[in-house]
Amino acid sequence: MRPISLTCLCLVFMPSLDAAPPAYPETRRGDVVETLHGVKIADPYRWLEDDNSAETKAWVEAQNEVTFGYLKAIPERAALLERLTELEYYARMNPPFKVKGRYFFSRNTGLQNQSVLYTASSLDAEPQVLLDPNTFSDDGTVALSGVNVSDDGKLVAYAVSKSGSDWKEWRVREVATARDLPDLVQWSKFSDASWSPDGAGFYYSAYDQPAAGEEFSAANINQKVYYHKLGTAQSEDALIYERPDQPRWGFDAHPTRDGRYLIISIRGGAGARNALYYKDLRKPDSRITHLIKGFEARHTVIDSEGDTLWVHTDSMAPRGRVIAVDMQNPGPHRWKNVIPQSEDTIRSVSRVGRQFVVSYMQDAHSVVRRYKTDGTSLGEIKLPGLGSAAGFIGRPDERETFYAFSSYTSPATIHRFDFDTGESTPYWQPDLEFDPDLYETRQQFYQSKDGTRVPMFIVSRKGLEADGSHPTLLYGYGGFNISMLPRFSSSLIGWLEQGGVYAVANLRGGGEYGENWHKGGMRENKQNGFDDFIAAAEWLVDHKITSPDHLAISGGSNGGLLVGACMTQRPDLFAAAIPSVGVLDMLRFHKFTIGWAWTKEYGNPDVGKDFKVIRAYSPLHNLKPGTRYPSTMITTGDHDDRVVPAHSFKFAAALQRAHRGDNPVLIRISTNAGHGAGKPTSMRLEEAADRWAFLLHELR
């Protein structure tokens, strides 16, 4: 394809759309009013929660007609889509991992809707297609959402998800023949499939089948652990564990590598904090009993050897440590500190090459160190720069592992690490349609409202002049202990090529500095994360990177809440906002699918003291009629069964009514799409073109 010259999208000569605001569809206002903790709460758009009703479907169609009409009228959109397609057209792959001498990895030639799973007998052998999700559907909306290879390398359990839903169907494929066995497991969600060491079957978690019409909205409760024996129907699967007395507990079960124990991780809500239970598999009649009680810390089993279980935990170590647990006497007073807490935050730990590979976060970028199993340091794995490293998968007896390194302006390069030499060598790198050397990423620290020091990445063309004129997108998340490390997106290059600046603030509520950083932005401290985001915007303005007329904010899911809260608190500070799949009705988030689990993060609006905090920032309930809000494009998917689209529907209707100004308030509703996972390449490119076209037009 022909490269687009920069003058094609020059902001100075961008023609305007009509000055009048779009003609929004009429949205019926109902008369629902509830009294919560003595406060009357009107909910006139409650009817939009029923996404199966004819009225809601007609509303969705009418809103999309306005939105897509507006976006298609932006002259530069077609050129943007062409350029973004060029930028996306590069081969990419995930780090290989090895099972019984055979390698497995996924690869995409560039514009395939879904990446393909391959296998090879050696690094030099011709890879063979094992699973091609592009054959699952014509439009690419059926995705591969989980893969687990049996210990003997002969079988792979794989999960399929449709239209971006969290629901999974598990199937089994023979590696040698690439043919499916007849096995089928349905209604699994938030679960892996973990093979028993003998390869005779796998453990998984599932819910009861929901009522017809409620598959994407009913509350997900009473999850159970099952064991599926190959060659049998799902109805015959053995029930391993359930807790009807704790309907909101969720489970993830996997056996230790030697098959001695079944470890069950139990979560009481969303986030990483969990309890650990176990069953002695050497004794068929043994009971499942607690190993580590409570939900006050995170505990991730790394590996085991004999009676020793190694665990990555943040118990009494908010930035993380590695402990050894004696399974014959597993009480906390007997835990042995193997890798103590350091100044950096542990992100993940794997045991490969009979040593621990520990990935740390150091000021929100990756640092990787190695240790013997007794905690003796073996040094650092040198990384190419300021970015993110991921992978390091393998088994204790392997002498190699692979990892991907990427940054905001460099796509993932695969490296092979040799445990015998202690050296990394490039294994695979993409062929690019742009020059990364034209751009730079710098890290800036700024002060939030209460004086807290917060990091922010700023990505731009080199030699950026601080004159306040640059269209800038500020992105954030700030919740659920999730960290925002540098990662590559080809669509970002399309933004940078047009002179755009991209900034990412590492807000409290995330996990960049451990559990204390997380707690600093959750529940009653949630406003801290919003203050951090607003302070980042003010820093960008004060230092003339941009100005309020050229500044936009964006975030998804919990980040959509962030955007909704900040645009309602400081509408004067931003010219545009894109809240994506956001949690926007904070008084009813716990009523749908897995939303009840988020009360651990946000608090419970049914509890008086939590209600007061939550209502103070709930985006839907803090819109003020007659206010000029930023140009807004709300985005969601009609099959989002994590943050149900009603959040976005109700916020869009209320914002269109409250807003006073000629600038647009739009909602873009993707069909056959969910919360984001598994989205086909073609759909992602269309969304990116719409996003950048909207921002370039509104920030001109």
Active-site residue list: 557, 675
Question: How far out from the chain centre does Cα 649 lie?
Answer: 22
What are the residues facing 241 on neighbouring strands?
A: 225
683's tokens: 């759909």
The span from the CA of 579 to the CA of 421, in Å, is 48
Q: Could you identify the residue written with the tokens 């509703």?
A: 669
Q: What are phi and psi of 9, to 5 degrees?
A: -120, 25
Q: What are phi and psi of 399, to 5 degrees?
A: -110, 10
Which stretches does DSSP call E strand in 581-678? 631-637, 665-670
Q: Could you identify the residue written with the tokens 């209320």?
A: 654
List the Cα angle 684/62/556 in 5-degree steps: 35
Contact 607, 596 (CB under 8 A): no
Q: Could you identify the residue written with the tokens 């103070």?
A: 616
Contact 118, 107 (CB under 8 A): yes
DSSP assignments along 28-60, one per residue? -----EEEETTEEEE-TTGGGG-TTSHHHHHHH
Q: Alpha helix (H) ranges present in 498-574?
A: 515-519, 526-542, 558-569
What is the chain's length? 700
Buried b (16+ CB within 10 A) or exposed e, 349-368: bbbbbebbbbbbbeebbbbb
Contact 584, 556 (CB under 8 A): no
The span from the CA of 661 to the CA of 200, in Å, is 64
Amino acid identity of residue 277, one-letter, is Y
Question: How far out from the chain centre does Cα 209 lie?
Answer: 26
Q: Taking the alpha carbons of 185, 188, 192, 195 in that order, is the dihedral positive or negative? A: negative
Secondary structure percentages of the chain, helix, strand, coil, to 5: 25, 35, 45
List the Cα angle 242/599/609 in 5-degree steps: 135
For residue 346, the SS3 value is strand
CB count within 10 Å of CB 480 equals 20
266's tokens: 């139990």
The span from the CA of 359 to the CA of 348, in Å, is 5
The span from the CA of 605 to the CA of 625, in Å, is 24
List the Cα angle 353/357/360 in 5-degree steps: 175
For residue 88, the SS3 value is helix
Pairing of strands 576-580, 551-556: parallel
Q: Which of 352, 338, 339, 351 is nearest to 301 (CA)?
A: 351
The span from the CA of 107 to the CA of 211, in Å, is 38
The span from the CA of 59 to the CA of 66, in Å, is 11
DSSP assignments along 446-479, one per residue? EE-TTS-EEEEEEEEETT---SS---EEEE----
Which stretches does DSSP call E strand in 353-397? 355-362, 365-371, 377-381, 388-391
List the Cα angle 259/264/265 in 5-degree steps: 135
Q: Could you identify the residue written with the tokens 């090459």?
A: 353
Amino acid identity of residue 9, one-letter, is L
Count CA atoms within 13 Å of residue 589 on its CB side. Answer: 31
